[in-house]
Amino acid sequence: MDGVFEGYASLFGVADLGKDVVMPGAFTDSLRKRDAGAIRLLWQHDPATPIGRWLSIEEDRRGLRVRGRLNLAVERARDIHALMREGAVDGLSIGFRVERARAERPTGLRRLEKLDLWEISVVTFPMLPGARVESVKQGLPSLSSSIRAAAVRLFS
């Protein structure tokens, strides 16, 4: 399937640039009540710019592992897909509501223990630098690019 990509939208136990640390199990209840299809796939957290849908979202030992598919019938999603394939855009970022957190005064960190996850965005600059797209399916070339490539081979 063209437009499919995978990565980690959140990593457990790692402080983001805002000093938030997501704890293991923080998404358990949210994922139990809301499946991957109900969590929006957005561009830069903009609710007016959905770009596809999540195929799977799950917690593993490392963090929140995601697999999504860009809707390549949408122009913005095609642009993002091209940028992702080139490695120019590879950030992921979560949109959530905090249900339970604990502040640590000496470190200034906020430990996020329970979150209501409602969207995950592809972003240019993620708050958690390690939240990244790890693989992007290349898919089949378009008919026009295949014809162009054949013409170059034949007439060069």
In the set 10, 30, 119, 121, the catalytic residue is 119
How would you classify residue 51: left for phi > 0, otherwise alpha for psi between -120 and 50, otherwise beta? alpha
Q: Is 45 a catalytic site residue? A: yes
Write out the H or E segment, with its range, that includes residue 83: helix 75-86
Domains and their CATH numbers in the chain: 4-155 (3.20.16)
> Percent of the chain at pLDDT above 70?
87
CB burial of 48-86 (b: ≥16 within 10 Å; e: otherwise) equals: ebbbbebbebebeeebbbbebbbebebeebeebbeebee
How would you classify residue 129: left for phi > 0, otherwise alpha for psi between -120 and 50, otherwise beta? alpha
pLDDT in tens, 96-118: 999 999 999 999 999 999 999 99
In the set 10, 30, 93, 121, the catalytic residue is 93
Would you state the pLDDT for residue 140? Answer: 47
Q: Is 93 a catalytic site residue? A: yes
Mean pLDDT of the chain: 92
For residues 94 and 26, what is the distance between their CA atoms, to the nearest angstrom? 12
pLDDT in tens, 56-82: 999 999 999 999 999 999 999 999 999
Residue 2 has pLDDT above 60, yes or no: yes
Would you state the pLDDT for residue 148? Answer: 58
In the set 45, 59, 113, 121, the catalytic residue is 45
Q: Is 81 a catalytic site residue? A: no
Would you state the pLDDT for residue 51? Answer: 98
